[in-house]
Structure 1
Amino acid sequence: MGLEWRTIMKPHQYDFKEAAYHRLKREQAFQNVFDFPDFVEMRPVIREAVQTIARQGVDHPVLPVQVERLTIELERQLERETRKYQSQGGVYPNQKNELGNLTRLYTRLLQAISQRPIIDQEIEDIIYAVNQTRLSLSKLPPLVGSGKLYEDGHDRELRPHTFYYLIAQHLVRPYLIDQAGAMVPQNVNKEGRQLVARLTVYAYRDWDAYLTHQYDEQHNIKNRRGLTSREYYNQLETNELKYVDHAYADVLADCFTDFTHLVVPNYLDHVDIMTTNLDELFRHAPLLRIKFGQLVDQHFLVDDQGHEHVLDAPVKDIRQKYQYYREHFS
């Protein structure tokens, strides 16, 4: 019996990514970049482009944490709105302006990605995925009735009398223009307003997403071509310094835990970090206000002048680490 010869396709001849893309295209008319097979690999580049858009979206100097906050909100808006319209399979009359803004946001995203100095196959794949999503949104059919509109968190502020508010109130004291006055913008100097802005960001920040941002940026650095050892360490150092304020996540969590142990169950059955009115509690138990202040001083490493020093040690450690790397491995 003779042998039957067949053409065997070797693994390297089969483009798994292309096959997955074709399958995705067959399975769904609406193509969503967040559902593409290799979105995890795309995400660092997309996030970098969103950061560019966020920086372009402010017309005056702002704190880095404010740009980071806007970046996260834009990312959240992109994914949530896209998934909403994908699920709806169309657009309601009251959503037309919102959809138009979303489509323009994708156009700006494409422009930002296309401005990268090197456009290789990976970047072309990302441009393709983003553009397919934009086209899918632009082709949505009209629906009858009314649909939900997206709500973001641009106007979030610290709620008076709550845990985060009282921490800010305690830490802002050295920056008050009138020491007997309230924590209102008119009575807080520039440095103090920046402190309150940072604490507000920390109160609402998704710390897991924040660290994902850091890892994505590190991924970009590690895959950047042509860097010398010194440039590589410099960029990693800049990355770690940029995200060093994640130390506040532990400080805030530990401070809240210690405070909870102080008041539950002797004074309250439960403390909600965002809603419990602590001023009311302190009016009934004045000694607790003093103990609360002591906890804040302890966890935020407050000096005799009332200034906090949470980041002093982490920043010093990062600088020393990369100085050692540059001296011994460059």
Structure 2
Amino acid sequence: MSVAAQEQSGPSTQHTLPNLADLVKAGTKRTRVVYAGEGASIDDGLARANKIKFATKLGIEYKDVQTLPPILQSQTAGPAGPKRPSQAAIAAPGAAAAGVKLIGGPEARSTSSSGPQAPEPQALVKFRHQQGYAAQGGQAGSRLSQALMRKKEAREIKPEYHPQWKLSRVISGHMGWVRAVAVDPGNQWFATGAGDRVVKIWDLASGELKLSLTGHISTIRGLAVSDRHPYLFSCAEDKMVKCWDLETNKVIRHYHGHYSGVYSLSVHPTLDVLVTAGRDAAVRVWDMRTRANVYTLTGHTSTVADVKTQDSDPQIISGSMDSTVRYVHPLFSSPF
């Protein structure tokens, strides 16, 4: 059977789809008909909701401070000349019995439509009574009244003015970072050590270079001058500690024992000992004349950055990069 015969013999099963634009237009018309009268009611509900929201926030914020404390109320109740009556007194003549109103916020509902209000919680009433918020006479001053009292203005004490120090002199001559400085106890000269591996001695008055001492093979990290001997001590990152005789300007002693760079040294003020510290986390006490390592003080877990000595206990104080400070008596060689 041909296709033409089939079309003539049977009914057509195809359905034509409606136009989409017509459906949208019809739906829009129905929506307008259904919600045509709702515009005014939506606006009225929004205004009423905003009014209730404002009244609720105002009540939460100022609920506990609507009445003056008894002390302030008694102070403001005295005659001070003719005054204009307040809005609260006009609206409610019996408000004096309940206390002077500070803020009268808008109510969310009208008086006619409002029903019986719920009683205030007993815990809040008790708290107000204890704090003195209730407007009853004969009560002691509350914290609120004390806070409202005028306080004296806090005045900051100004420090005494001192004139700025003026730069006296700038000395240059090193070819690297200056990492150590030591001053002569006689206030005649000072020594500097830097990354150029040279110890330079300068005249303190004129700033002129007097002497350059060479011998280290790495950055000089510490210098110390003895006030009882003509000695200058230097330490560097080359693990070496040198003792310079300032009368001959030569190295007369070496102190060997550190396993890494030596970062700091200090001469004891009364004993003939030298204390050094460095990257090996050890503080070493040396006999100045025999070059013997008298004590090796351990306990730090990282580089010892600085060490100081004094003639009273504790005689050795060390600071390390492990965030600790240790003070030691050399006779016991253990931290207190």
Which category describes the TM-score, using the shorter chain as reference length?
under 0.3
Q: Which one has the bigger helix percentage? A: 1
TM-score with structure 2 length normalisation? Answer: 0.18
TM-score with structure 1 length normalisation? Answer: 0.19
The structure with more radius of gyration: 2
Q: Which one has the bigger strand percentage? A: 2
